Amino acid sequence: MKNIVVFASGSGTNFQSLIDASLHGEINASISGLISNKHNTGANERAKKHHIPVRVLAPSMFENEQDYTKELLWQLKKWNTDLIALAGYLKKIPVSIIQAFPNKILNIHPSLLPKFGGKGFYGMKVHQAVIEASEKESGCSVHIVTPEFDEGRVIAQAKVPIYKDDSPQQLAERILKEEHRLYPKAIQQYLQTI
């Protein structure tokens, strides 16, 4: 069975969708650990509730980037990581980690990439920009992580309509529901290719 390590910084609702999918056999893999860059997050609590090991690692905890990436790599190897799934992780993945796990890091992004992706496009900022651009639809994309933000190959997408009176929060809620459906399916399909 393959091992997935999830990286999350926040409440962990996408992480929870992956835990649920793993428990129900929708993902044929086990979640061997959670990497977070913060203490006391919802994601960390979800991991503890499901007896998933948590490691809090942030660049600020180390003297330099090299020591940080060395520790991160050590932890990923210890957990026998086959695939890394970013689930609301708000730190850039070091290039050395991307090189150590080529085409084995996935991310879910709350827009229809390549639109509204890249540096600065995360969370509510994405939905605000989509509405301001008078887009007719938005959605979410699962993509392979590369050194450039949101530029890796898209492997799955789900679309949602945008309504005239939508607020960024309303749009975010509708897209998040799709993220919870799309991410586990995309991961299961992708696992069969690696």
Please list the active-site residues: 109
E strand map for 77-184: 83-86, 105-109, 137-144, 154-161
- Rounded to whole angstroms, how far apart are CA atoms 118 and 109? 10
- Rounded to whole angstroms, how far apart are CA atoms 134 and 114? 16
**Those residues with Cβ within 8 angstroms of residue 132's Cβ, 6 or more apart along the chain or in another chain:** none
- Rounded to whole angstroms, how far apart are CA atoms 135 and 118? 18
**Is residue 185 a contact partner of residue 106, using CB atoms and an 8 Å limit?**
no
